[in-house]
Structure 1
Amino acid sequence: MKHLHLKILLMRHGETWDNQAQRMQGQRDRDPAALALACRATELSGSGQQQVLALGGRLGQRLKTAQVLPQIYASPLRRSRETVALLAETCFGPTGLGPTVPLAIHYDERLAEIDLGIFSGLTWPEAEARYPALCQTLLSQLDAYPVPEAETPQHCHQRAEAFVQALVWNSSESSEIWIVTHAGILAHLVAAILGSDRTWGMAIAPTALFEFELNRDRWLLATERLNPALWTIHHFNDTAHLGG
């Protein structure tokens, strides 16, 4: 029996000005009151644009031997939109490395970054100054502790699981899928693909690349995805395109 295989590429957006300042972004550019102040802060920095161009060059090389064009999904937040637009121009534009084609980009709310609630837009020292008791509790608790107005880990896992399940279920032929998203929710997407109910503490650099190949039919039928024959890891938190 022939099985369909899906290649799923997850990538974080390029660096933003907020990242440079070590601010916790979350979904801060959704807040109308903060939007004017956050306008430039949540955009890609100059370094971030260069990172995306480097990633685009790497992905463009794949297109030279690709059998099918990738499907592209992205978070609707500004930094992700800017990243995917620059990737599309680099790979599929008139001077791109791949074929010049009109490209559909599917924006999905389930790929948005974790909502950090009252910490959105703050650096950690600012959060400690404003909410000292809460920050001390977060540092001392053994288990996850709720931040007011923030999204819970359980909800993050549920929306990541729902996205991956729908993505794989709706893929009717062997294909390659590119997903541009954020470090926080990306960890939950990785867990959903691997069949884990937990995430791992790992630093995911801007434009870091993860690539998984799924045996689609077996993956969908499995009740527990602990069998490594269901998926293969080709790249994990890979930033080789950035050099150094």
Structure 2
Amino acid sequence: MAARFVVEADGGSRGNPGPAGYGAVVRDGDTGQIIAEAAEFIGHATNNVAEYKGLIAGLKAARELDPDASVDVRMDSKLVVEQMSGRWKIKHPDMQPLAAEARTILPRSRVTYTWIPRERNKDADRLANEAMDAGKAGRQWEPKQPSKPAVTPVQVAEPPLETAAPKAGWAGEADLGTPTTFVLLRHGETALTPEKRFSGSGGSDPELSEKGRWQAERAAEALAARGSIQAIVASPMRRTRETAETVAARLGLEVRYEDGLREVDFGAWEGLTFAEVQERYPDDLAAWLGSAKAKPTGSTESFTTLTHRAGVARDKILARNPGRTVLVVSHVSPIKTLVRLALGAPPDSLYRMELSAASLCAVQYYADGNASVRLLNDTSHLR
């Protein structure tokens, strides 16, 4: 299932026209949690131009998180809301190209516009003012949290478990109730797996191989013996669907699909080995290995982007399954990311984890926001 986001955007100009800036936030449509922020000082402009630029930045941030998402835009600018809804004509030449750009970011059928009073748009307004303050000081806006990676002009907020410190309940001072347990199952092998070829969400979407189907059956046997799985959530890609459905048939459960669990889009690297990528795209590969914000050649997605959509998917599953044990069937990168977030480990720790085909990991999430990794890369059921 594609994500549902709320984008709140605003812009301001001190003098109208005058020094101007915009701000935008992206919220998870189910929880209301802010998952991305954008702000920028844009120089000399009008209020309306700044508001449109805030809208564009918010829509782009939502698209980066999930290009298939539906978005509810909420702004306190009656002008922008009515014009983008098609009820008012856009006559001003400065706004016509901005409105046209906004319409190209996501399909019109997946974007709605709602007017809200200014007091309900405080976060976007705050960011716009921060951007203008930064411009007045001769610099660009930067996030206030230094631990969060800077992205210009969009700053994506890390999921809450990224930097959370252990709380009092962790020491047993409070009854935290039954934790929610994720049993993380990587899909079985495809034809590309033993050759160690990049296989993400932008490639051929391969099916399980004969060995991969055997691995899925062994995982189903092991999970049936475990006897605690109460729900199954999976990436919608073919190899994860086939793996999840094999287990679901054995356990008598239905599979719920979550798009945030899909693998990273590896762009031009899809289907290539690491050596082939190193030979053809050495600079891009070096950048990708050196920074979570770098993207594979031709891809629109980095590990930073993956972190946020995987965090949103995690929070959705937790909200729907408090105190339950959920089988999460996914891919190498999303599973490693969930483990990394649970550990509070840095992004480059992804390169220090082994995750075999059809392997099992387990993470428990507690009511105080803490998490505990209970199992990593278990393949005993395959021996």
TM-score using structure 2 length: 0.49
Work out whether 1:14 is the aligned partner of 2:178.
Answer: no
CA distance in 2, matches of 1:75, 1:109: 6
Change beyond 3 A, Cα 1:122–1:8 = same
Query: Residues 76-99 of structure 1, C-alpha deviation per residue, up to 9 Å, x if partnerless?
Result: 01110111111222x23xxxxxxx
CA distance in 2, matches of 1:59, 1:191: 23
What code does the residue aligned with 1:22 have?
K
Query: Residues 153-187 of structure 1, C-alpha deviation per residue, up to 9 Å, x if partnerless?
Result: 11011111111122223334x21100000001111
List aligned pairs for 1:75-114, cutoff 5 A.
Answer: 75-89=235-249, 91-92=250-251, 101=252, 103-114=253-264
CA distance in 2, matches of 1:133, 1:233: 35
- RMSD of equivalent CA atoms: 2.3
Work out whether 1:49 is the aligned partner of 2:213.
Answer: yes
Is the partner of 1:213 in helix, strand or coil?
Answer: strand
Among all aligned residue pairs of Structure 1 and Structure 2, give the percentage whose two residues are the same amino acid.
27
What code does the residue aligned with 2:256 have?
H
TM-score using structure 1 length: 0.75
Q: RCO higher in 1 or 2 (8 Å CA, sep ≥ 6)? A: 1
Is the partner of 2:192 in helix, strand or coil?
Answer: helix
Give the aligned length. Answer: 205
| Unaligned stretches of 5+ residues in structure 2 | 1-174
Checking the alignment, whether the CA contact within 8 Å between 1:160 and 1:192 is kept in structure 2 is no
Name the one with the larger strand percent: 2
Structure 1 residue aligned with 2:333 = 184
Larger radius of gyration: 2
CA distance in 1, matches of 2:357, 2:211: 10
CA distance in 2, matches of 1:111, 1:143: 21
List aligned pairs for 1:1-244, cutoff 5 A.
Answer: 1=175, 3-29=177-203, 38=204, 42-63=206-227, 66=228, 69-89=229-249, 91-92=250-251, 101=252, 103-135=253-285, 137-138=286-287, 142-144=290-292, 145-150=294-299, 151-172=301-322, 174-196=323-345, 198=347, 199-200=349-350, 201-215=352-366, 217-219=367-369, 230-243=370-383
Checking the alignment, whether the CA contact within 8 Å between 1:84 and 1:180 is kept in structure 2 is yes
Is the partner of 2:355 in helix, strand or coil?
Answer: coil
Checking the alignment, whether the CA contact within 8 Å between 1:28 and 1:121 is kept in structure 2 is no
